[in-house]
């Protein structure tokens, strides 16, 4: 699905034409550069690779520097492939946020905020076992029993337990575009999107 690469700037709010308060997210979208065009003959599938966000050349490997020079552009930090991209996109083309100005809805893909190692109450929404009136003094947030003892004598896969939380690839679908600011490469969408400020996003048409 064609789209663009962006960076989350933060959240704010606007008032719509009816005076309703609408929370929204500001995304710096593009400009993206076409750095590679993959074809069925050469690569086994058709796709377009876009690059976003300038990177210092001293921090870029030599193979990547050569890769970007083929597209006549400076090194970039983020590379993403898109299938079903427009056929008129050529190597070295610069795609701006204007590409989305005629759309009403977009999908936004990103990685959620990482929360580290968390217990079952925060990770899975457990209510805790028992209560303070049942003779327990420090087991209120424990997961409880994990399974039978004698049979099957093991814990089944998929058991909801404590563990690393967050930092998962998430797609939010059908977010309404409230405004496009082409002079600053900004896209304002209704609601929230995954990720922290400064994290990269994929905006799909």
Percent of the chain with pLDDT over 90: 78
Confidence of residue 145 (pLDDT cuts 50, 70, 90): confident
pLDDT confidence of residue 135: 67
Q: Which two tokens stand for residue 163?
A: 């563990």
Tell me the pLDDT tens digit for each residue of 109-141. 999 999 999 999 999 998 876 666 666 667 788
Candidate from 35-39, 148-152, 179-183 with smallest mean pLDDT: 148-152
d(CA 5, CA 204) in angstroms, rounded, equals 9
Q: Which two tokens stand for residue 128?
A: 């805790």
Kindly list the distances between the CA atom of residue 115 and the CA atoms of 30, 122, 138, 167, in Å, as whole numbers in the listed order.
Answer: 29, 10, 23, 8
d(CA 33, CA 31) in angstroms, rounded, equals 7
**Per-residue DSSP letter, 167:** -
Q: CB–CB of 165/116 below 8 Å?
A: yes
Residue spans of the domains in the chain: they are: 3-117+171-204, 118-165
Predicted TM-score of the model (pTM): 0.86
Tell me the pLDDT tens digit for each residue of 60-81. 999 999 999 999 999 999 999 9
What is the fold of 3-117+171-204? Elongation Factor Tu (Ef-tu); domain 3 (2.40.30)
pLDDT confidence of residue 17: 85
DSSP string, 118-175: E-HHHHH----SS-TTTT-SS-TT-----S-SSSS-SPPTT---SEEE---EEEEEEE
């Amino acid at each position: 699905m064609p789209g663009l690469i962006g960076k989350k700037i933060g959240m704010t709010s606007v008032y719509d034409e009816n005076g309703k308060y609408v929370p929204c997210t500001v995304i710096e979208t593009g400009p993206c550069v076409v750095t590679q065009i993959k074809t069925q003959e050469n690569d086994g599938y058709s796709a377009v690779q876009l690059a976003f966000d300038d990177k210092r050349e001293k921090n870029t490997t030599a193979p990547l520097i050569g890769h970007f020079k083929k597209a006549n552009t400076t090194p970039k930090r983020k590379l993403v492939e898109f299938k079903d991209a427009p056929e008129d996109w050529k190597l070295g083309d610069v795609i701006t946020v204007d590409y989305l100005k005629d759309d009403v809805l977009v999908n936004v893909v990103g990685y959620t905020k990482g929360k580290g190692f968390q217990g079952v109450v925060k990770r899975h929404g457990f209510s805790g076992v028992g209560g303070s009136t049942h003779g327990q003094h420090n087991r209120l947030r424990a997961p409880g029993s994990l399974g039978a003892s004698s049979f099957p004598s093991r814990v089944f896969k998929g058991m909801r337990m404590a563990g690393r939380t967050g930092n998962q690839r998430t797609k939010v679908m059908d977010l309404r575009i409230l405004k496009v600011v082409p002079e600053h490469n900004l896209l304002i969408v209704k609601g929230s999107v995954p990720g922290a400020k400064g994290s990269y996003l994929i905006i799909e048409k």
